[in-house]
C-alpha cells in the first residue's frame, strides 16, 4: 500500500495553521481584557462592568463578577468607552486609566485627568437600554401597623435608568393589610419621575403618580407636576437633593357605605427632601419627605415620608426594613389622618 507523499506535509501545515489561529485568538482576547491591579499587588484581568456606591464591579472568568473597594484599586486600564460622573455632576466619556490617586478619561481628541476620589460613578456607554436599568424587587411583611394588631404583606419594585443628560426612575408598591378582626384592606401606589440635567448640580423634574388606599377610603388619587431641583451633596456614597415645584392632584374618596364623593381637582405646592447614603459598610439608608400644601384657602396639606435600611446578604440579595407614613391634615372623609406601617423585606438587586 502506497502513501501519498503530500499527505503528511499537508497535515503538518494544517496543524501549524490551526495552532497559529488559536494563538492569535488568545493574544487578541488577552489584549482586549481590562487590567486591574490592587494595592496588595494582585493582578486581575477581566472586564470593568461599572463603579457605584464606592465599589468597582469587575467581571472575571474564574470568579464571575467581584466587588472591589475603589480605595483598594492601584491601577485600572480599559479601552472600553465609559461614562464617568464626578462629585460636581460633571460627566466625561472615554477609555480609562487609573494610576494611584488619578483617573484619566481619554478620547481621540483629548485626555481629562480627574481625582479618583471625586469619581461618583462609572458606567459603559455601549450597553443596551435593558443593561442600563438598575433596580430592586422586594417581598415583605409587617411587624406592626398603627395601634391595631394587623399583619401586612407587601410587594414592591424600584427601577432607575440614567443617561448623561437625563434620568428616569419609578416605583410600584402594593400592600395587603389583614387585621385580626375586620375586613382586609389594600394600598397601591405607582410613581414615576423624569429628571433633565441643567448643570452639574441643578435639574428640572417632572413627576406623576397613582394611589389607591382602602384604609383611607381613597378610591384613586392621580397627580402630575414638576419643578426645579438642586443637588446639595453628590459623592460616590451619599446624595442629597432638594426639589421644589407644584403638582395637580385629582382625588375621589368614598363613604364607608361604598358611595363615592365627587371627584375634586386642586393645585398643590411641592417641597421634597431626598437623601441616600451607603457610607456605613455598604448598608444603604434612604429618606424621602415630601410636603404638599394645598394652593387654596382650605389650609389642607399632606406629608409623605418614606425611609428604608437595606443590608446586603449576598451580591444580589439584601434584607431591609422600611417605614412609610402618609399624613393628611384635613381628609375629606372621617378617617384617621395618619396611615403608616413598618415592613421587613427581602430584596433582589438587578
Distance between terminal CA atoms of the chain? 66
Among left, alpha and beta (phi > 0; psi -120 to 50; other), residue 100 is: left
Residue 100 has pLDDT above 90, yes or no: no
Residue 223 and residue 246 in contact, taking contact as beta carbons nearer than 8 Å: no
Q: In the predicted model, what is the mean pLDDT of residues 294-310?
A: 90
Provide CB contacts within 8 A for 39, sequence distance 6+.
72, 73, 74
* Topology of the domain covering 133-349: Porin (2.40.160)
What pLDDT does residue 104 have?
92
The kind and range of the H/E element at 18 are helix 7-32
Report CA dihedral (118, 320, 174, 277) to the nearest 10 degrees. Answer: -20
Residue 50 and residue 34 in contact, taking contact as beta carbons nearer than 8 Å: no
Query: Where residue 17 falls among pLDDT bands split at 50, 70, 90?
Result: low
- pLDDT tens digits for 259-294? 788 888 999 999 999 999 998 878 999 999 999 999
Q: In the predicted model, what is the mean pLDDT of residues 76-95?
A: 88
The size of the chain, in residues, is 350
CA–CA separation, 200 and 303 (whole Å): 29
Residue 269 and residue 295 in contact, taking contact as beta carbons nearer than 8 Å: yes
Q: What is the pTM of this model?
A: 0.75
Using only C-alpha atoms, the chain has a radius of gyration, in whole angstroms, of 27
CA–CA separation, 240 and 266 (whole Å): 29
Residue 51 has pLDDT above 70, yes or no: yes
Q: Look at the alpha carbons of 162, 159, 67, 64 in this order and tell me if their dihedral is positive or negative.
A: negative
User: Grid coordinates in use for 167?
Assistant: 434620568
Q: In angstroms, how far is CA 67 from the centroid of its own chain?
A: 17
Query: Where residue 30 falls among pLDDT bands split at 50, 70, 90?
Result: very low
**Residues above pLDDT 70, as percent of the chain:** 87
Q: In the predicted model, what is the mean pLDDT of residues 62-68?
A: 84
* Nearest Cα residue to 165 out of 203, 135, 134: 203
CA–CA separation, 225 and 193 (whole Å): 10
What pLDDT does residue 317 have?
93
Residue 192 and residue 206 in contact, taking contact as beta carbons nearer than 8 Å: no
Mean confidence (pLDDT) of the chain: 85
* Most confident of the following: 63-77, 146-160, 193-207: 193-207
What pLDDT does residue 63 have?
78
Residue 107 has pLDDT above 60, yes or no: yes
- pLDDT tens digits for 199-253? 888 999 999 999 999 888 999 999 999 999 999 998 888 999 999 999 999 999 9
Provide CB contacts within 8 A for 107, sequence distance 6+.
93, 94, 95
User: Which single residue is written with the C-alpha cell 419621575?
Assistant: 193
Query: Where residue 64 falls among pLDDT bands split at 50, 70, 90?
Result: confident
User: Grid coordinates in use for 343?
Assistant: 415592613
Please report, for residues 38, 136, 248, the alpha-carbon distance to residue 81 in angstroms, rounded to integers and kept in the order given. Answer: 22, 26, 42
CATH 2.40.160.40 maps onto the chain at: 133-349
Amino acid at each position: 500500500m502506497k502513501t501519498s507523499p503530500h499527505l503528511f506535509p499537508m497535515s503538518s501545515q494544517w496543524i501549524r495553521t490551526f495552532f497559529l489561529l488559536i494563538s492569535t485568538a488568545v493574544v487578541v482576547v488577552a489584549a482586549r481584557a481590562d487590567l486591574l491591579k490592587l494595592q496588595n499587588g494582585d493582578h486581575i484581568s477581566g472586564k470593568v462592568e461599572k463603579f457605584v456606591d464606592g465599589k468597582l464591579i469587575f467581571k472575571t472568568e474564574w470568579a464571575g463578577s467581584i466587588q472591589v473597594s475603589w480605595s483598594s484599586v492601584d491601577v485600572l486600564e480599559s479601552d472600553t468607552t465609559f461614562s464617568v460622573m464626578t462629585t460636581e455632576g460633571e460627566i466625561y466619556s472615554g477609555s480609562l486609566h487609573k494610576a494611584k490617586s488619578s483617573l484619566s478619561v481619554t478620547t481621540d481628541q483629548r485626555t481629562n485627568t480627574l481625582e479618583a476620589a471625586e469619581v461618583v460613578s462609572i458606567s459603559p456607554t455601549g450597553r443596551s437600554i435593558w443593561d442600563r436599568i438598575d433596580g430592586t424587587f422586594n417581598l415583605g411583611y409587617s411587624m406592626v401597623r398603627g395601634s391595631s394588631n394587623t399583619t401586612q404583606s407587601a410587594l414592591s419594585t424600584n427601577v432607575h435608568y440614567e443617561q448623561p443628560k437625563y434620568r428616569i426612575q419609578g416605583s410600584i408598591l402594593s400592600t395587603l393589610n389583614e387585621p385580626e378582626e375586620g375586613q382586609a384592606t389594600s394600598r397601591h401606589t405607582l410613581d414615576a419621575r423624569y429628571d433633565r440635567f441643567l448643570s452639574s448640580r441643578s435639574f428640572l423634574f417632572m413627576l406623576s403618580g397613582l394611589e389607591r388606599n382602602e384604609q383611607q377610603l381613597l378610591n384613586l388619587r392621580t397627580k402630575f407636576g414638576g419643578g426645579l431641583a438642586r443637588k446639595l451633596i453628590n459623592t460616590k456614597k451619599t446624595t442629597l437633593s432638594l426639589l421644589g415645584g407644584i403638582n395637580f392632584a385629582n382625588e375621589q374618596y368614598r363613604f364607608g357605605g361604598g358611595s363615592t364623593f365627587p371627584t375634586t381637582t386642586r393645585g398643590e405646592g411641592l417641597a421634597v427632601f431626598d437623601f441616600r447614603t451607603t457610607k456605613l459598610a455598604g448598608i444603604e439608608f434612604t429618606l424621602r419627605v415630601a410636603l404638599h400644601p394645598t394652593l387654596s384657602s382650605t389650609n389642607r396639606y399632606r406629608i409623605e415620608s418614606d425611609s428604608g435600611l437595606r443590608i446586603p446578604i449576598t451580591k444580589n440579595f439584601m434584607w431591609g426594613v422600611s417605614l412609610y407614613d402618609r399624613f393628611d391634615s384635613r381628609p375629606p372623609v372621617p378617617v384617621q389622618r395618619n396611615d403608616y406601617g413598618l415592613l421587613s423585606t427581602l430584596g433582589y438587586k438587578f
